[in-house]
Structure 1
Amino acid sequence: MPPDTATPRFPRSSPYWPVVSHPLLRRVLPGLAVSALGDGMALVAVTWLALQLAPPGQRGTWTALAVAAYTLPSAAGTLVFGRFLAGRSGAQLAGWDAVLRAAALAAIPVAHLAGALSIGLYVALLAASSLLHSWGSAGRFTMIAELLPERHHLPANAVLAILGQTATIIGPPLAGVLIGAAGPVWVIALDAVTFAVLALTYRLALPGGGRADPTENAPSRTAGFGIIRHHRALRGLLALTFAFFLLFGPFYAAMPVLVTEDLHGSATTLGLYYTAFGAGSLLGGLATGYLHRWRLWPTTIGIVVGFGVAMLPLGLAAPVGLSLPAFALAGLVWAPYRSTSMALFQRSTTTAALPQALAAYGAVIVLAVPLGTMLGGPLTTGVGPRHTLLLCAVATIVLGAVAAGLAVVPGRRPGQRGRIFGIRVTSFHGRFRATGREQLDRGRTRAR
């Protein structure tokens, strides 16, 4: 066989090879990996420092506020900075988010050394650090759309997810060791250093640039929401994702109670479930890149249904020997969702509009899990943890079934086409295509 037609061998045959070998992306990935590890350690350090700073009788309240402050203000940042940041390049958005994170988090150990770190100041600095988080996330996925052709978007999204999933497994135990040796404030200082490294990586690894698509009139602060509102496929995706994450939220309230009261387990047992989910997520993330030939809408909806099915054993009083691997399977099924949903956005909007749309999407989605967790508290108290988990699993399956049902037009002959939520479908053939004005500008790219 001639050399130019020979089948490439691994790793060149991997769908990830065009991503990790890209001349610009390969310079950024190490910084993203370091920053992800820092965030993995922050999962433990943020709550632990809040426990140390809070008054003894108010630790639960302040710990919850600290966790919320590290993520939720990004929703406000989407609106506050929308006019200024809309239209900027992906690398600029991600870089500015990293700079703000580094500066605000670095102020925490500085205040500690000055003897001025109170619980109120701590929560305020965490909130400041997260103001550009939605824009930073939008910037990373926009950068992928700017640098790579469409066929490589899903594997590239999966690479970002794999970095985060790996850091979630490694970061917390590493943070535990470092907290025991030096204290949580210095783990947060280390997290600030990782964001500084990431900001420097963006600055040096990618060429500088201004706006991705300059316009005469500055867009409004809510331009991203307008893009989604006028694109039926993106509205449907936003609704599906919000409901999916909302139904996952009660898990954080119900699972600890289930382990302690129903299973009579310990913190070690709870840790085993978290580890199983994390391991499954990592495997699912590694497999995501190989889904690039699958149609994205059916895959995304199938993930929702499959996750609900995998969660059923927890609500059906299954023994640990069955519920533990089922929970690992749930993590495996869950993992590709963010990558496929981001790929749908990347294929449904122009590169210029993508940061605004993704920032608006992130501002809404960031509220879903905390709201679900808040609802899960009284639900767990009222019906018990097992019934709460069963209710959420069944509701998730129903959600996916409803979304799948919207892709079938009753009463149409086989092969006759219709539209639902902006998705062009062909009855009995499962053909999905996200449609919209932006796609027409981009040559009617197909959402696979």
Structure 2
Amino acid sequence: MLGSRITFVAVPWLVLTTQDSAMLAGLAGLAEMLPYVLAGLIGGPIVDRVGPRPTAVAADTASVLAVAGIPLVAHWEGVSLSALILLIALAGALRGFGDAAKRALLPRTIAAAGLSTERGTAMYDGVCRASTLVGLPLAGVLIAAFGPAAVLLFDALSFAASAIIIGLLVRVGCADAAALAECEHQGYADALRDGFRWVRSDRLILGVMAMLFATNMFDQAFATVFVPVWVREGPHGPAALGVIGTAFGLGAVAGNILYTVVAPRLPRRLTFGVCFFIGGPAQLLALALADRVWTVLVTAAIAGALISTVNPILMAEVYRRIPTHLQGRVISVLIAVSWAGIPFGGVIGGWATDRFGLQAAALIAAVGYLAVTMSPFLFPAWRELDARPRPEAKPAMVAA
């Protein structure tokens, strides 16, 4: 994760410095993320059939070559830009396969370690947030010191380390043998359809996807449009761009540590609903209503602490509900649909800002955020967050 966060900064910078085009730098980011999402979706049945551990090791091993090849191609005279973009897309697709496998591997690892699901998913989310908090500023330092090519080689080494660690040290049980045998005789298209059928059959999972589609869209508008416009229109200076993200990250890491300790004793639905309802739109309201940096920073830190509870609760519930042998394909569908709102967030946020101004656009987004995050208190399906699902709750789908 740390290597991938660094590459998130290094790849656009490498393209910008070698091709001298901001548009091409943006295209490089799209070339990495679009295959990442698609590979995560189509890779679900492969993960369930082959197994999450060998899939993760194979994807990370191939990623070593793909990521290491990016700086070599970028500096190779006579190589076309399309070849560089294709290699970046390949690296993104391989990482999508690897991350899909690791998401399916996680609940089995948590069980083998003897942890509760809440505590295990909270620790995982804490690692994600800590890697972002450390990786993004570290990328700037490493790029300034060694250049983007060397930084990408560091990411290639991080994939090699990941493959070795998972291959040698992560020894967990497999899914039910009969279920795995049936997966092996099932066609790829049928396996992928099973993932969509399972999602359609579960009202809570449908509610989670709908909520995350909307909130990811609002979050993307905040990060890519509202914050830069707020910085440009105020006396804060460009440093405020990074400071806001750092404040949110610090709050998220602190909140995650606290939640990891107290998670088993908290009611899931109430904790999730209150923290998301308050923490989600808080930064949007701060940008719309405050013009002082310290107010926005304090709000960002508090929002980060509250939001740090959201992912662990959702992940724990998803892992509890989905049969082990279906987790690869179902989780891939869930993430692909939830992330589908991200590309629209920046476009809609930019249009609203140009049309209505920053304050009005941020307020509209905040109201939308509040409306969406009220659903855990309004719809009965969300009460299942507090219920322990019975193993026989979905016998037909388990047997599918």
- TM-score normalized with structure 1 length: 0.78
CA distance in 1, matches of 2:154, 2:78: 20
Quote the residue 2:12 is aligned against: 47
Report deviation, 1:436: 8.2
- In terms of fraction of residues, the more helix-rich structure is 2
* Partner residue in 1 for 2:372: 399
Maintained 8 Å contact 1:144/1:153: no
> What is the distance in 2 between the residues matched to 1:77 and 1:40?
19
Instruction: Specify the alignment match of 2:186 in structure 1.
Output: 217
- Shift of residue 441 of structure 1? 5.5
Q: CA 1:211–1:151 in structure 2 vs 1: closer, same or farther (change >3 Å)?
A: closer
In 1, distance between residues paired with 2:309 and 2:70?
35
How far apart in 2 are the matches of 1:121 and 1:224? 34
Task: Select the residue among 251, 276, 297 that pairs with 1:280.
Answer: 251
User: Residue 361 in 1 paired to residue 334 in 2?
Assistant: yes
Partners of 2:228 and 2:134 in 1: CA distance:
21
Identity %: 25
Q: Find out whether 1:185 has 2:149 as its counterpart.
A: yes
Distance 1:141 1:155, change over 3 A: farther
Pairwise mapping of residues 220-231 of structure 1 onto structure 2 (< 5 A)? 220-231=191-202
CA 358–96 in structure 1, closer or farther in 2 if over 3 Å, else same: farther
Residues 108 and 117, structure 1, Cα contact 8 Å, conserved in 2: no
Shift of 1:152: 1.6
* Cα gap change, 1:438 to 1:363, in 2 (>3 Å): farther
How far 1:227 moved relative to its partner? 1.5
Asked whether the equivalents of residues 43 and 100 of structure 2 are also in contact (C-alpha less than 8 Å), the reply is: no
Looking at structure 2, the residues matched to 390 and 367 of structure 1 have their Cα atoms a distance apart, in angstroms, of: 23
Separation in structure 2 between the aligned mates of residue 243 and residue 432 of structure 1, nearest angstrom: 23
Match of 2:387 in 1: 433
**Separation in structure 2 between the aligned mates of residue 438 and residue 379 of structure 1, nearest angstrom:** 48
> In 2, are the aligned partners of 1:376 and 1:388 still within 8 Å (CA)?
yes
Q: Report the alpha carbon displacement of residue 343 of structure 1 after superposing the two structures with TM.
A: 0.8
Q: Does 1:38 align with 2:3?
A: yes
Tell me if the contact between 2:40 and 2:99 (Cα under 8 Å) persists in the aligned partners.
Answer: no
Name the amino acid aligned to 2:150: W
Shift of 1:145: 1.7
Query: For residues 96 and 385 of structure 1, do their structure 2 counterparts lie closer, same or farther at Cα, with a shift above 3 Å needed?
Result: farther
Q: Secondary structure at the match of 1:71?
A: helix
Query: What TM-score does the superposition give when structure 2 sets the normalisation length?
Result: 0.86
Gaps of at least 5 residues in structure 2 are none
1:152 aligned partner: 116
Aligned amino acid, residue 62 of structure 2: L
Structure 1 regions of 5+ residues with no counterpart?
1-35, 408-419, 425-430, 443-448
**Cα 1:437–1:229, aligned 2, differ >3 Å: closer, same or farther?**
farther
Matching of residues 237-256 of structure 1 within 5 Å: 237-251=208-222, 252-256=224-228
Match of 1:347 in 2: 320
Contact (CA 8 Å) 1:135, 1:355: kept in 2 or not? no
| CA deviation string 1:80-124 (max 9, x = no partner) | 444433344332333233233322111113324643554433322
Q: Tell me the residue number matched to 1:6.
A: none
Q: Helix, strand or coil: the match of 2:124?
A: helix
Partner of 1:68: 30
The verdict on how the C-alpha distance between 1:381 and 1:140 changes in structure 2, with shifts beyond 3 A counting, is: same
1:117 & 1:37 partners in 2: Cα distance? 29
Distance in 2 (alpha carbons) for counterparts of 1:176 and 1:383: 34
Name the CA distance, whole Å, in 2 between partners of 1:188 and 1:164: 19
Q: 1:370 to 1:281 in 2, by over 3 A?
A: farther
Q: How does 1:233-312 map to 2 (within 5 A)?
A: 233-251=204-222, 252-261=224-233, 263-289=234-260, 290-311=262-283, 312=285
Structure 1 distance, partners of 2:69, 2:43, is 22
Distance 1:258 1:367, change over 3 A: same
Computed over aligned residues only, the root mean square deviation of the Cα atoms, in angstroms, reads: 2.7
Distance 1:249 1:214 in 2: 42
Q: Which amino acid aligns with 2:101?
A: G
Question: Take 2:269 and 2:58, find their aligned partners in 1: how far apart are those partners?
Answer: 32
Counterpart of 1:39 in structure 2: which amino acid?
Answer: S
1-side partners of 2:18 and 2:335: how far apart?
Answer: 30
1:396 Cα offset (Å): 0.9
Q: Which residue of 2 aligns with 1:176?
A: 140
Q: Matched residues in 2 for 1:248 and 1:436: separation?
A: 35
Q: How big is the shift at 1:151?
A: 6.0
Closer, same or farther in 2 for the Cα pair 1:113/1:331, shift >3 Å?
same
